[in-house]
Amino acid sequence: MTGSRRERAAETEQALKTAARGLFAERGYLNTKITDITAAAGRAAGSFYNHFASKEELLSALLADLAAAGDAAAGRADHNPDFADPDGVRYHVESFWRFARAHTPVLRAVNQAALVDAGFARRVAEFSRAQRADIADHVEGFEAAGLRLPSTPDASLAMMFLLVQGLLDAVDDGMVELGDEQAVDGLTRFVYRGLTGRDY
């Protein structure tokens, strides 16, 4: 494949992803058809299958993009990997809040797909476990520091992720009125206290 053909293929793939994100935000994953995506991307309907075998495969590609973006955030110079330190908790709460807010359409699409596709639900569960495994070492020093997690390390980290995502959904849906800084402050205090038993 020549460079120009590769470039055109990459442009088309990116256009399909961008269109899908916009449509998922507008009407949800389940109500978006492949023909809607190609029309919004300004591409022929058949071009979709040159890049993705199905709508689920496109969503899997978007999920992989999220994982790569999350890995990049973890590599930042100000990353604090110690959850016994409230600043370490705040760093991760704020990073996940801002990350989830920026990628809400894809995250909601992932949850919708998991409801109707058992295979995709397994993929999402594996993705979530991998994300928690990536930060499992952030609570390794708790016992030596005299701290006791509320449950197993994996379950405790799951509680943190689910709490942040749940509050973000409530804010986005208008059930709770909070600015980003207020949300991050409150979540940091709540998560730090929950993980360590200490006041922030």
80 and 88 Cβ atoms separated by less than 8 Å: yes
In terms of domains, do 155 and 82 share one?
Answer: yes
Query: Residue 49: what pLDDT?
Result: 94
What is the CATH number for 45? 1.10.10.60
C-alpha span between 164 and 184 (Å, rounded): 9
In terms of domains, do 96 and 144 share one?
Answer: yes
User: Which spans in 2-54 are helix H?
Assistant: 3-27, 34-41
In terms of domains, do 65 and 92 share one?
Answer: yes
pLDDT at 7 over 90: no
Share of the chain above pLDDT 70, in %: 97
In terms of domains, do 45 and 19 share one?
Answer: yes
In terms of domains, do 160 and 112 share one?
Answer: yes
Q: Specify the number of domains making up the chain.
A: 2
In terms of domains, do 21 and 68 share one?
Answer: no
pLDDT at 199 over 70: yes
C-alpha span between 8 and 150 (Å, rounded): 51
184 and 157 Cβ atoms separated by less than 8 Å: no
120 and 35 Cβ atoms separated by less than 8 Å: no
User: Taking the CA atoms of the chain, what radius of gyration do you get in angstroms?
Assistant: 19
In terms of domains, do 1 and 44 share one?
Answer: yes
In terms of domains, do 40 and 104 share one?
Answer: no
What is the CATH number for 143? 1.10.357.10
User: Which spans in 28-78 are helix H?
Assistant: 34-41, 55-74
Average pLDDT score over the chain? 91
**Structural domain of residue 155, as residue ranges?**
55-196
Q: For 65-91, how does the pLDDT look when each residue is reduced to its tens digit (9 = 90+)?
A: 888 887 776 667 788 999 999 999 999
Of the pLDDT bands very low, low, confident and very high (cuts 50, 70, 90), residue 97 is very high
In terms of domains, do 33 and 70 share one?
Answer: no
Query: Residue 54: what pLDDT?
Result: 93
Q: For 115-165, how does the pLDDT look when each residue is reduced to its tens digit (9 = 90+)?
A: 999 988 998 899 899 989 999 999 998 988 899 999 999 999 999 999 999
Share of the chain above pLDDT 90, in %: 74
pLDDT at 105 over 70: yes
In terms of domains, do 29 and 107 share one?
Answer: no
In terms of domains, do 143 and 163 share one?
Answer: yes
C-alpha distances (whole Å) from 30 to each of 155, 157, 168 are: 30, 29, 21
In terms of domains, do 38 and 123 share one?
Answer: no
C-alpha span between 142 and 164 (Å, rounded): 22
